[in-house]
C-alpha cells in the first residue's frame, strides 16, 4: 500500500450531493485539495458558485448540477450529467438531507413524507444510479451520511432518527449486494457540528452546555474533521471496509 499518497485522489471523479451546505462544501474542498475532479449538486446556485470558487484554487474539473431530490427523474439526470462532466464516476458522497426537530406528537404526515423523501428515498435512488455507472466501470466508493441519531434515541428527532437509522441499514444491505461489483458502501455519522441545521440549538446556551456535558472530548466537531473521515472512507486505506457506519462524535457513543 502506498501510505504516503493514500489521500491522493488525482483523476478520481467525485459527485457530492448537498454540496452547497456546511459539510458538503467542506467535502468538496477536501477532495479538490487532494486532486479530485468534483461535481457538487444542490439547489442554491449562488452558494454553489462560492464553493466552486474555493475549489478552483486547485487545478482540476469542478462544476455544479442543480437537482430536485424529490424528483427521481431529476436524480437520474444529476448522476448522468455528473458522469458526462467528469468523464466517469468513482466516488459518490451521498450527503444531501435536512432535519425536523419537533416533538413526535406534533409531527404531521407531511413532515414524515417530506423528510423521508429527501433523507432516505433520495439517497437510495442516488446510490442505485451511481452504482449502475460504477458497476459498468469496475467499481467505486459510496459514502452515505448517517448521524449519531441513527443509533441514539434523541428526543424531538423521531422522524430524522428513523431516516438516518434507515441510512445505516441501507448502507449494510447495499454493501453486501454490490461487493461483487467492486463497489464499497460505507456511511459517516457525524455528531454535533456547527452547521445551518444545528445553529438554533447551539445558540441556546442551556442546550449547548447540556450537549457538551455528554461529549467526552468536551467540544463540538469541525466540518474538516468529518471531511477527513470521508476522505479515509474513499481512500485505499479503507479498502477492506464496507457496510460500516463510522461515528465521528467526540466519544458521545461511549456512554
Active-site positions read 160
Q: How far are the Cα atoms of 83, 128, 252 from residue 255, in angstroms, in the given order?
A: 43, 35, 7
Distance between CA atoms of residues 92 and 144, nearest Å: 8
**229 CB-near residues (< 8 Å, 6+ apart):** 188, 246, 248
- The DSSP secondary-structure symbol of 153 reads -
Here the cell at position 180 is 461483487
- The DSSP secondary-structure symbol of 188 reads E
Q: Please report the sign of the dihedral spanned by the C-alpha atoms of residue 196, residue 224, residue 123, residue 105.
A: negative
Match 432516505 to its residue by C-alpha cell: 120
Amino acid at each position: 500500500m502506498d501510505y504516503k499518497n493514500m489521500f491522493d485522489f488525482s483523476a478520481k471523479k467525485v459527485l457530492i450531493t448537498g454540496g452547497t451546505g456546511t459539510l458538503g462544501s467542506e467535502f468538496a474542498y477536501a477532495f479538490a485539495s487532494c486532486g479530485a475532479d468534483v461535481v457538487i449538486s444542490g439547489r442554491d446556485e449562488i452558494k454553489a458558485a462560492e464553493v466552486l470558487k474555493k475549489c478552483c484554487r486547485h487545478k482540476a474539473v469542478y462544476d455544479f448540477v442543480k437537482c430536485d431530490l424529490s424528483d427521481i427523474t431529476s436524480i437520474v439526470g444529476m448522476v448522468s450529467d455528473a458522469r458526462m462532466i467528469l468523464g466517469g464516476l468513482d466516488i459518490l458522497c451521498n450527503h444531501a438531507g435536512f432535519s425536523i426537530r419537533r416533538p413526535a406528537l406534533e409531527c404531521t404526515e407531511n413532515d414524515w413524507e417530506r423528510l423521508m423523501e429527501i433523507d432516505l428515498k433520495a439517497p437510495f435512488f442516488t446510490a442505485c444510479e451511481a452504482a449502475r455507472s460504477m458497476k459498468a466501470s469496475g467499481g467505486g466508493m459510496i459514502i452515505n451520511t448517517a448521524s449519531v441519531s441513527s443509533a441514539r434515541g434523541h428526543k424531538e428527532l423521531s422522524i430524522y432518527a428513523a431516516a438516518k437509522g434507515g441510512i445505516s441499514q441501507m448502507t449494510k444491505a447495499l454493501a453486501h449486494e454490490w461487493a461483487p461489483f467492486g463497489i464499497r458502501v460505507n456511511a459517516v455519522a457525524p455528531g454535533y457540528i456547527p452547521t445551518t441545521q444545528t445553529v438554533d440549538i447551539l445558540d441556546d446556551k442551556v442546550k449547548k452546555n447540556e450537549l457538551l456535558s455528554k461529549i467526552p472530548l468536551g467540544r463540538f466537531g469541525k466540518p474538516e474533521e468529518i471531511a477527513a473521515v470521508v476522505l479515509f472512507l474513499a481512500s485505499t486505506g479503507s479498502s477492506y471496509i464496507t457496510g460500516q457506519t463510522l461515528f465521528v462524535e467526540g466519544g458521545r457513543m461511549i456512554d
